[in-house]
Amino acid sequence: MKPRLVPYLFIGPALLLLVTFGVLPIAVALIVSFTDMNLAGLGDWSRIQFIGTDNYTKLFADRAFWGALSNTGLFAAIGVPSVVIASLLIAIGLNRSQGRFFRALRSFYFVPAITAIVAISLVWGYLFNAQFGLFNYLLSLVHLPPVAWLSDPLIVKFSVVWVAVWRGLGLNVIIFLAALQGVPKEYLEAAAIDGASEWRRIVSIEIPLLRFAIFFVTITTVIAWLQFFDEPFVLTKGGPLGASTSISLFLYQKGFSASQFGYASAGSVVLFVIIAAITLFQLRLRRADADY
Amino acid sequence: MPTTEPGRRRRPRASTVIVGALLTVGALVTAFPFLWMLFASVKPRGESVAYPPHLIPSEPTFEFFAQLFNELDFGRYLVNTLAIVAICMLGLLLMAAAGYGFAKFTFPGRDALFFLVLATMMIPGQVTMIPSFLIINGLNLTNTLIGISLPMLVSGFAVFLFRQFMATIPTEVLEAARMDGAGEWRIFFSIVLPMSGPILAVQVVLTFIAGWNSFLWPLIIANDQKLYTLSVGVSLLNQQIATNPSLQMAASTLMVVPILIVFVVFQRYVVQGFTLSGLK
């Protein structure tokens, strides 16, 4: 074995897979988005026609696409602040004590993040059930009327977000906890000696020092919500009448249920551009922030 | 450090007790769906659709677990899922090798290639879903376990973690082994991998969790029921929500309990994995 080749042999296989399924797909999506590829084209490539920007024109005229886009915007608008603020508060609370009890509590918050989404969505579907679900029973105990959690076009949006927030907390709590452990104890002690209240120490010392973690969690949470898929897919299949269809779910339906690969690829490209633009925007904000 | 030790240390302050109580309530609310799932999985059907609902089953039964395996082929789904987890463990070796290559060798194009690895972390899975399907289809690998596993085999993030960790292995150790005439692969398998215990443990646990839970991709690639994974099988039970919640809860329990066990046993590594990612 030639020594100069050795490093390439080590990185080769992993890199090949990463390029094939991580980088190449962007190019494939772009090319396919200019064609009318569908199930027939999948079997016989000669039946694929180049149709220019037709898919994009059609996409921007598709009310279902705009519906999915605005749903995704709404999901992110509710989901991102909820996840970031709640996980920050929980992490600050959990960080108050290193005792055994507090450490045991951490696991409870973390478990939803690692369990299978299909399994937990089924459980939530059961709790949300309009006839025998627990939530409506709890409402009836306080004399409130039953709620159509998954079949009302407005309420369903909040139901799927609720499940996703519940699932999204754990990971971010862990990230914030790791960051909180990096806050120098001396700062907090010095502030305590100077008579700063607890609240004051949290607001003036811990939160400013967590700036990077908050930024990181916000950026990853925004991206995660733009890709929101699992909860509506399992709980509602995007219904009723598309009320809980996210962009990702729209792409899945067009691509795999309707086999319109060209059309769905155009949607993928649009999603990619949106995610890239938002990420770049956030990075720019971050840079402005660092200058200050 | 322990503030809860009775007697010698001062008692925890009132504010800590209040925060602890609030967090306990939150933790119970968070864990409640799992508790509900466990109890509901052993409720006879009549009890699971009874109104008002009860948490604790009065006549527990394991018939639905038996039904999953006897009538619904969950045994096969379980084997498929374990096969995918096993294949993903092979992917782990590829990623470890790549991490080592990036950490301990200098070669033309290294920085550019490593940047490429990092760039793949930013590309969302839903964007690559359709093209990846077309690629797998072009390779004639749809409806194969290999096709299901290939795109899940490597992640840029794991390569990054391996590289970070392996950069801390002293180069002298590797040089000494080379002097003694050890081949490059031998160095990798008998020196580098054993020295990477902590990061390997993290990755094994994360890989197990990811492989076990993988849902969307197996759903897309497996059209043949013989290749369904547990997650795909469980999602198909969704149509039965109105008719048989107990069966669904039994299937959910089957998926969740192994992960809970892995989590409880290897909790330290799971958390370490997220800490190691250098998010400070």
Q: Report whether A42 contacts B136 (CB < 8 A).
A: no
Residues of B in contact with A138 (CB under 8 A): none
What is the C-alpha to C-alpha distance for residues B161 and B166, in angstroms, rounded to an integer? 9
Say how far apart CA B25 and CA B29 lie, in whole Å. 6
Model confidence, pTM: 0.85
Residue B280's pLDDT band (cuts 50, 70, 90): very low
Contact A29 B127 (CB under 8 A): yes
Q: How far apart, in whole angstroms, are the C-alpha atoms of residue A7 and residue A1?
A: 11
Determine the distance in angstroms separating the CA of B32 from the nearest CA of chain A, rounded to an integer: 10
Of B40, B134, B242, the CB nearest to A32: B134
CA atoms within a 13 Å half-sphere pointing along the CA-CB vector of A125: 28
pLDDT band at B276 (very low <50, low <70, confident <90, very high): low
| Tokens of residue B238, six digits | 């969704």
Complex ipTM: 0.84
Task: Specify the CATH number for the domain of residue A177.
Answer: 1.10.3720.10
Residues of B in contact with A41 (CB under 8 A): none
Q: What is the pLDDT along chain A (292 residues), one digit of tens a residue?
A: 567 888 999 999 999 999 999 889 999 999 999 998 888 777 777 778 888 889 999 999 999 999 999 999 999 999 999 999 999 999 999 988 888 888 888 888 988 888 888 888 888 988 888 888 888 888 888 888 888 888 888 999 999 999 999 998 988 998 898 888 888 888 888 888 888 888 888 888 888 888 888 988 898 898 889 888 888 888 888 878 889 999 999 999 998 888 889 999 999 999 989 888 888 888 888 776 654 4
Domain range annotation of chain B: 63-276
In this complex, the residue of B40, B126, B251 whose CB is nearest that of residue A248 is B126
Contacts of A217 (CB under 8 A, 6+ apart): A83, A84, A87, A88, A172, A175, A176
Closest residue, chain B, to A13 (C-alpha)? B94
Residue of A nearest to B210 (CA): A114
Dist. CA B213–CA B222, nearest whole Å: 15
A14, B158 Cβ separation under 8 angstroms: no
Does some domain include residue A129? yes
Q: Can you tell me whether residue A241 is helix, strand or coil? A: coil
Sign of CA dihedral A6, B105, B272, B280: negative
Contact B133 A10 (CB under 8 A): no
Give CA–CA dist A97/B9, Å, rounded. 14
Residue numbers in A near B15 (CB within 8 A) = 198
In a domain, A190, yes or no: yes
* A51 within a domain of the structure (yes/no): no
User: Which residue of chain A comes nearest to B104, CA vs CA?
Assistant: A7
Q: Do B132 and A90 lie within an 8 Å CB cutoff? A: no
Cα–Cα distance measured from residue A265 to residue A220, given in angstroms and rounded to the nearest whole number: 23
Instruction: Tell whether A7 is covered by a domain.
Output: no
How many structural domains are present in chain A? 1
Please report whether residue A39 resides in a domain.
Answer: no
In terms of residue numbers, what domain contains A238?
61-287
**Within-domain flag for A140:** yes
B125, B237, B275 ranked by CB distance to A178: nearest:
B275
Q: Are A11 and B162 in contact (CB under 8 A)?
A: no
Sign of CA dihedral B139, B140, B146, B152: positive
Query: For residues A202 and A88, is the Cβ–Cβ distance under 8 A?
Result: no
Task: Name which of B22, B31, B95 is nearest A111 (Cβ-Cβ).
Answer: B31
- For A101, the 3-state DSSP assignment is helix
Residue A30 lies in a domain: no
Q: Kindly state whether residue A36 falls inside one of the protein's structural domains.
A: no
Contact assignment for A126 to B40 by CB distance below 8 Å: yes
Is there a contact between A90 and B26 if contact means CB atoms under 8 Å apart? yes
Distance CA B16, CA A43 (A): 65
Spatial neighbors of B144 by CB under 8 A, at least 6 apart, are: B227
Q: Which residues of A touch B37 (CB under 8 A)?
A: 119, 123, 126
Q: Which of B124, B212, B237 sits opposite A122 (nearest CB)?
A: B237
- What superfamily in CATH does domain B63-276 come from? MetI-like (1.10.3720.10)
